Amino acid sequence: MLTMSYDRTFHRLSWGIETYDAISGPWGHGVLPAGEYTIKIYNAVTGSSLSSGYRDALTNDRWFIPLEPKFSTPRQGLGIHPDGNVPGTEGCVGLRGPDASKFWTKWNSTPMGLRPTSLTVT
């Protein structure tokens, strides 16, 4: 299984040897809970119909990759996306600055079968 990890203390999303500056919280219900998540690689959404909170300020691309907790939680609608609009997220992993574009470029250049399907949040 291919995995990613997100460190809530150091605000780093890691995929292989690459790391990306990312934030979770403080809005909504706060920081993404620690635990294991399924990355719903076949359910990623793109396009201008997404809100400005999902917009990469450098490229204007809007995208959202859903996350599904592998544990019981009332939290819903979690995902990975650019940290657009007001800094911070409502619990998602928001990629900041140029790292949003770097991540999205890697995501799109990685074949579906080689994309990570699991996220560990610590």
pLDDT tens per residue across span 50-91? 999 899 999 999 999 999 999 999 999 999 999 988 899 999
CATH architecture of the domain 3-121 equals Beta Barrel (2.40)
Tens-digit pLDDT profile for residues 70-79 = 999 999 999 9
pLDDT tens by residue, 97-115: 999 999 999 999 999 999 9
Residue 108 to residue 87: CA distance in whole angstroms: 24
pTM of the model: 0.95
Q: Where are the domains of the chain?
A: 3-121
What is the predicted pLDDT for the residue at 1? 63
* pLDDT band at residue 22 using 50, 70 and 90 as cut-offs: very high
Question: What is the pLDDT, as a whole number, of residue 61?
Answer: 94
The amino acid at residue 64 is F
Whole-Å CA distances, 83 to 10, 62, 98 = 16, 10, 11
